[in-house]
């Protein structure tokens, strides 16, 4: 028979788990929304043959913002998933099965996206300078 103390501890862990997961999911949804917005607009611009424009540079910046939100969500989701595995004895986590090893992976993704952003910005500046020369 469980004691009051163990029930309180389990309730606290579940509440803590729910709070962590909620914050992580909200941040992940914000990241996906930024990503989708940028992806749709960049796709439209590329279909209209507008490649290196100021608007596209800003849209690539949105991918960086999205990745930052993803990085912000990782500790919350990984913490909640660790609590789920450790204290609630659940193995299948579901759709948000982030672990602590996802943080370095997302950092690498951020570095790659940042490099793409810098190259895209340089190409846009070169195009602008080319248009100014006669």
Q: Where are the alpha helices (DSSP H) in the chain?
A: 4-47, 54-86, 102-132
pLDDT, one tens digit per residue, over 87-117 is 766 666 666 778 888 999 999 999 999 999 9
pLDDT, one tens digit per residue, over 50-69 is 988 999 999 999 999 999 99
Handedness of CA 32, 29, 54, 106 (dihedral sign): negative
């Amino acid at each position: 028979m469980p004691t009051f103390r163990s029930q309180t501890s389990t309730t606290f862990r579940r509440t803590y788990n729910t709070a962590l997961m909620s914050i992580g999911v909200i941040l992940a949804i914000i990241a996906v929304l930024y990503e989708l917005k940028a992806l749709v607009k960049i796709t439209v611009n590329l279909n209209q043959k507008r490649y290196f424009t100021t608007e596209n540079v800003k849209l690539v910046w949105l991918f960086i913002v999205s990745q930052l939100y993803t990085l912000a969500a990782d500790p919350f989701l990984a913490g909640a998933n660790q609590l789920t595995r450790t204290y609630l004895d659940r193995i299948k986590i579901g759709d948000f099965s982030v672990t602590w090893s996802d943080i370095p992976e997302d950092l690498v993704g951020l570095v790659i996206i940042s490099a793409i952003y810098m190259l895209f910005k340089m190409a846009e500046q070169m195009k602008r300078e080319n248009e100014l020369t006669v």
